[in-house]
Structure 1
């Protein structure tokens, strides 16, 4: 895990983003790729993330039913969730890659949350992609101190992208989910 005090690096050379739209009413692939590329570049720069050249991340855009199955299989939680992350490799001296891992998002949950929060769908997707990427770099929110660190990085990254603080009205707490 790296911290925001490190020099800004940006995306590693030849960084690859593989997108799969499996289900749901997602925007077109080109729109998702542009949104995710910008989110990843900013996350790498602001959080000081480091990955080897040629690293790749896979994004799967699906629906609640598919993510419910994954959530049940891998987390023993038989319900849909907004985003799941599956890290792909262990770091070598805090440098990750080449396979960073998979990030899976559920359309209906993301849409519902955006409406409930009164925010733009694209802003919520961006937040969840950043959140998912931080998980691939071993950030977590199971304990209060972990949650505070991860959420502070999310705030910095999203602020750099011009997106409002998603935790402004919520206290910092560990994930009980």
Structure 2
């Protein structure tokens, strides 16, 4: 798996974001039965000001948020609660881009503090969450949320992170 990480906010240096991202991505793809070596992902670690700009530009919401994701391809199922069309590897081709994820440090740190969770656990959860969005999962309906949250809980358990829900 190729993971391109851009750290824009120095506060992220307090975490081993590269290791956390690799572990979260590998656990997610392994749980879903997707062979990681055929894919790539980009992650931007920024601050609240930057993510508020992105949230305004892409979602029309002029506020910071914890995580944003941009899937490279629409894999969402047509029926709520059903599995998305997971990527199929091309062993002879270039790695396929799964998408981009952005994390905002201040919001992540505040949420972790308010939830009484270690920051590393919360960030691992948000990386898994963002990657699942890149893979076609969402939480727009109760059925979709149940499917996505079930996978999040299962994936996080393999990382030693307690159920966030």
What SS is found at the alignment partner of 1:164? Answer: coil
Unaligned ranges ≥5, structure 2: 76-84, 89-94
Match of 1:105 in 2: 103
Match of 1:175 in 2: none
Match of 1:165 in 2: 163
Whole-angstrom distance in 2 between the partners of 1:44 and 1:83: 19
Whole-angstrom distance in 2 between the partners of 1:19 and 1:70: 17
Bigger relative CO (Cα 8 Å, ≥ 6 apart): 2
1:48 Cα offset (Å): 2.5
Structure 1 stretches (4+) deviating beyond 3 angstroms? Answer: 49-52
Between the two proteins, the alignment pairs up a number of residues equal to 150
C-alpha contact (below 8 Å) 1:50/1:95 kept by paired residues? no
Q: As a proportion of its length, which structure holds more helix?
A: 2
Structure 1 length-normalised TM: 0.79
What SS is found at the alignment partner of 2:11? Answer: coil
Match of 2:127 among 126, 129, 141: 129
Unaligned ranges ≥5, structure 1: 1-14, 168-177
Whole-angstrom distance in 1 between the partners of 2:24 and 2:86: 21
